């Protein structure tokens, strides 16, 4: 009888010990990435792409440059979702030429060195994709949408000058939620 009680207690501790830490582990970093992905998915419904933009017919294509964490999150979050009535496809961008030769609707930029960013600018300027990032300072230089954290919350800023120059039209309701950068 004592053996049975010991076995039950041991099993409870063993299995309880396996499950409890996974519940109590902090997940804020993953949550922030998921929040950015969810915001981006909703955001595209409030943005009209330039007339010259030639998207793929059946796929809303998101390219991710130099950000493996966001690539994983976007693939997971968008696995069975749609944007602009099209299935969402998420692809890594391996080099600058792909930005011009693939019909991306969105390009997510990872954190780059200042030199690398300068080299990339001509390619980004030729692209008709919405440029999105989460790096401080990118909204002033290259990104149309840039996510940032403030007071423990994920927020976003939009560069209306770049958006207008590129021919994007953003719904006023989305602009009201954004920090505006010019």
- Cα 74 to Cα 62: distance, rounded to the nearest angstrom: 9
Number of domains in the chain: 1
Compute the mean pLDDT over every residue in the chain, rounded to the nearest whole number.
85
Residue 6 lies in a domain: no
95 vs 54, which has greater pLDDT? 95
Q: For the chain, what is the total number of helices (H) and then of strands (E)?
A: 8, 10
Residue 55 lies in a domain: yes
Q: Is the pTM of this model over 0.85?
A: no
Closest CA to 107 of 178, 153, 49: 49
Q: pLDDT class for 24, splitting at 50, 70, 90?
A: very low
- Cα 157 to Cα 77: distance, rounded to the nearest angstrom: 22
Interstrand relation of 153-159 and 179-181 (parallel, antiparallel or unpaired)? parallel
Residue 33 lies in a domain: yes
pLDDT the model gives residue 14: 40
- With beta carbons less than 8 A apart as the criterion, state whether 55 and 61 touch: yes
CA angle, corner 51, sides to 45 and 53, nearest 5? Answer: 80
Q: What is the DSSP letter of 44?
A: G
> What is the percentage of the chain residues whose pLDDT exceeds 90?
64
- Cα 35 to Cα 153: distance, rounded to the nearest angstrom: 9
CA angle, corner 142, sides to 153 and 113, nearest 5? Answer: 85
pLDDT the model gives residue 146: 97
User: Domain of 152: which CATH number?
Assistant: 3.40.50.2300
pLDDT the model gives residue 6: 44
Furthest CA-CA distance within the chain: 79
Residue 10 lies in a domain: no
Q: pLDDT, tens digit, for every residue of 49-71?
A: 998 887 778 899 999 999 999 99
- With beta carbons less than 8 A apart as the criterion, state whether 169 and 161 touch: no
- Cα 65 to Cα 176: distance, rounded to the nearest angstrom: 28
Domain hosting 121: range is 26-181
Q: pLDDT, tens digit, for every residue of 128-154?
A: 999 999 999 999 989 999 999 999 999
pLDDT the model gives residue 57: 83
At residue 131, the 3 state secondary structure works out as strand
Residue 21 lies in a domain: no
pLDDT the model gives residue 147: 96
Residue 7 lies in a domain: no
Residue 133 lies in a domain: yes
pLDDT the model gives residue 182: 87
Residue 84 lies in a domain: yes
């Amino acid at each position: 009888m004592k053996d049975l009680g010991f076995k039950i207690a041991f099993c409870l501790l063993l299995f309880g010990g396996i499950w409890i830490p996974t519940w109590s582990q902090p997940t804020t970093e993953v949550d922030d990435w998921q929040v950015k992905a969810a915001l981006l998915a909703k955001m595209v419904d409030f943005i009209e792409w330039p007339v010259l933009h030639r998207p793929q017919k059946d796929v809303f294509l998101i390219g991710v440059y130099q950000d493996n964490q966001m690539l994983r999150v976007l693939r997971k979050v968008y696995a069975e979702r749609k944007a602009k009535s099209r299935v969402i496809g998420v692809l890594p961008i391996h080099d600058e030429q792909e930005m011009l030769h693939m019909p991306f609707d969105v390009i997510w930029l990872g954190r780059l060195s200042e030199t690398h960013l300068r080299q990339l600018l001509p390619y980004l300027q030729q692209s008709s994709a919405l440029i999105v990032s989460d790096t401080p300072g990118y909204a002033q230089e290259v990104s149309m949408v840039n996510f940032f954290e403030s007071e423990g919350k994920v927020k976003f800023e939009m560069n209306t000058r770049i958006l207008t120059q590129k021919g994007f039209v953003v719904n006023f309701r989305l602009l009201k939620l954004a920090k505006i950068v010019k």
